[in-house]
């Protein structure tokens, strides 16, 4: 029974002040549920609307690839500079301290390795994403792969249904097979298909004409970094993507394979959140690297 002493009638009703309509800051997300928006706001900074996700899920198909041999030594020390950590559940549970206080984008499909046909994946149980307190779950879609297209789209569909049940946004990850052309027509198609099938975030690759990919995708797009580039080129890639409408990056190798990963992720963040030009960000990288 609540204490009934000194119950005071409310008097501050703000009469005459209309309640302001709230509008969510991420494109295409206005009509999502509160829990989904709460999770998205942990990933995308509300002050900039952008994100620097640190991707280190590569081992789920590649094993101990360069830079990820020891997650405790390479990733944990730089996690503080990321807005979100993207990894598979086994690495999160074994290597990421639970008090890191960074939102997790859980790699939520698995089933193949670089030794076999890629993308023949199944999705994880949404309950494990809930147990891990994931802020999002990522599922790959192999558009244009005649063997795996339908299966991976079904994976995305299933995960969106499950995520919607519990307020967990799903990120559609556009795969690129060897025979697929890396152009805006392909990435525009694949990104749009992810969104049409319910993804709240899309991860794809930067390409010529990228502004058409972002314009025709109704939800935020983040770009993967791809193979390791010289630092200036990786910063140019991030800058071009942001200028062409990306809502951030989900970058892996260009951070953890850099000579100075901590400096690199901070330089990328300066491009994404502060709009530093690539050369300015490279100067920042050099300064931090040599500090
Ligand atoms: C994509 O499916 C991979 O799992 C990585 O998360 C993604 O490619 C981003 O990493 P990177 O910047 O190294 O390409």
Q: What atom of ligand 1 comes closest to residue 55's alpha carbon?
A: 6
Asked if residue 107 lies in contact with residue 136, where contact means CB atoms within 8 angstroms, the answer is no
pLDDT above 90 covers a percentage of the chain that reads 89
The per-residue pLDDT for 164 is 98
Q: What is the pLDDT of residues 31-49, one digit of tens each?
A: 999 999 999 999 999 999 9
CATH number belonging to domain 34-290: 3.20.20.70
Confidence of residue 86 (pLDDT cuts 50, 70, 90): very high
- The domain spans of the chain are 34-290
Residue 252 C-alpha to ligand 1 middle, in angstroms?
6
Query: What average pLDDT does the chain have?
Result: 96
Report whether residue 88 contacts ligand 1, using a CB cutoff of 6 Å: no
Q: What is the four-CA torsion angle of 48, 49, 52, 53, rounded to 10 degrees?
A: 160
97 contacts 76 by C-beta, under 8 angstroms: yes
Atom of ligand 1 nearest to the CA of 61: 4
- For ligand 1, pick from 53, 56, 58 the residue to mutate: most ligand atoms within 8 Å of CB: 58
d(CA 273, CA 83): 11
SS3 label, residue 206 = coil
- Torsion angles phi and psi, residue 168, rounded to 5: -105, 120
Ligand 1 in contact with 226 (CB < 6 A)?
yes
Confidence check: pLDDT of 60 > 70: yes
Residue 251 Cβ contacting ligand 1 at under 6 Å: yes
Quote the ligand 1 centre to 224 CA distance (angstroms). Answer: 5
Mean pLDDT of 89-105: 98
Which atom of ligand 1 is the closest one to the Cα of 56?
A: 6
Average pLDDT rounded to a whole number, residues 208-215? 98
C-beta of 269 in contact with ligand 1 (< 6 A): no
Q: Is 58 in the pocket of ligand 1 (CB under 6 A)?
A: yes
Give the pLDDT band of residue 109 (cuts 50, 70, 90): very high
Could you give the 3-state DSSP secondary structure of residue 178?
A: coil
State the pLDDT confidence band at 5, using cuts at 50, 70 and 90.
Answer: confident
Who's near 4: CB < 8 A, 6+ residues apart? none
Residue 110 carries which DSSP code?
E
Pairwise CA distance, residues 94 & 57, whole Å? 13
Task: Answer yes or no: are the C-beta atoms of 246 and 221 closer than 8 Å.
Answer: yes
Q: Which of 234, 223, 241 is nearest to 267 (CA)?
A: 234
**252-to-15, 21, 206, 255 alpha-carbon distances in Å:** 52, 38, 14, 5
| Coil/strand/helix, residue 248 | strand
Choosing from 118, 224, 233, 238 the residue with most ligand 1 atoms within 8 A of its CB, the one to mutate for a pocket test is 224
CA torsion sign, 45 to 49 to 50 to 56? Answer: positive
Q: Write down the pLDDT at residue 1.
A: 66
Do the beta carbons of residue 17 and residue 9 sit within 8 Å? no
- Predicted confidence at residue 183, as pLDDT, reads 94
For residue 251, report the distance from its CA to the centre of ligand 1, in Å.
Answer: 6
β-pairing, 170-174 vs 201-204, is parallel
pLDDT band at 153 (very low <50, low <70, confident <90, very high): very high
Indicate the pLDDT class of residue 180, thresholds 50, 70 and 90. Answer: confident
3-state secondary structure of 50: coil
| Res 116: pLDDT | 84
Q: Which is the closest atom of ligand 1 to the Cα of 249?
A: 12
Active site residues: 203
């Amino acid at each position: 029974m609540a204490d009934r002493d000194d119950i005071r009638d409310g008097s501050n009703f703000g009469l005459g002040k209309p309640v302001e309509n709230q509008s969510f800051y991420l494109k295409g997300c206005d009509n999502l549920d509160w829990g989904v928006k709460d999770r998205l706001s942990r990933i995308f900074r509300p002050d900039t609307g952008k994100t620097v996700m640190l991707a280190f899920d590569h081992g789920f198909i590649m094993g101990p690839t360069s830079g990820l041999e020891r997650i405790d030594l390479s990733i944990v020390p730089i996690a503080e500079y990321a807005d979100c950590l993207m990894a598979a559940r086994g690495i999160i549970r074994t290597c990421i301290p639970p008090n890191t206080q960074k939102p997790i984008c859980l790699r939520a499909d698995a089933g193949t390795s670089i030794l076999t046909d890629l993308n023949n994946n199944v999705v994880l149980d949404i309950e494990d994403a809930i147990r891990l307190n994931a802020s999002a779950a990522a599922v790959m879609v192999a558009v244009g792969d005649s063997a795996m297209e339908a299966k991976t789209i079904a994976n995305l569909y299933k995960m969106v249904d499950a995520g919607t049940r519990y307020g967990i946004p799903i990120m559609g990850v556009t795969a690129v097979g060897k025979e697929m052309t890396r152009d805006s027509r392909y990435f525009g198609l694949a990104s749009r298909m992810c969104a049409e099938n319910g993804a709240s975030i899309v991860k794809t690759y930067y390409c010529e004409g990228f502004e058409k990919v972002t314009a025709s995708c109704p939800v935020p797009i983040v770009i993967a970094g791809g193979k390791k580039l010289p630092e200036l080129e990786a910063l140019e890639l991030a800058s071009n993507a942001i200028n062409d409408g990306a809502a951030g990056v989900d970058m892996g190798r260009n951070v953890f394979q850099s000579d100075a990963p901590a400096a690199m992720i901070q330089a990328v963040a300066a491009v994404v959140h502060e709009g530093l030009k690539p050369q300015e960000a490279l100067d920042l990288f050099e300064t931090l690297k040599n500090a």
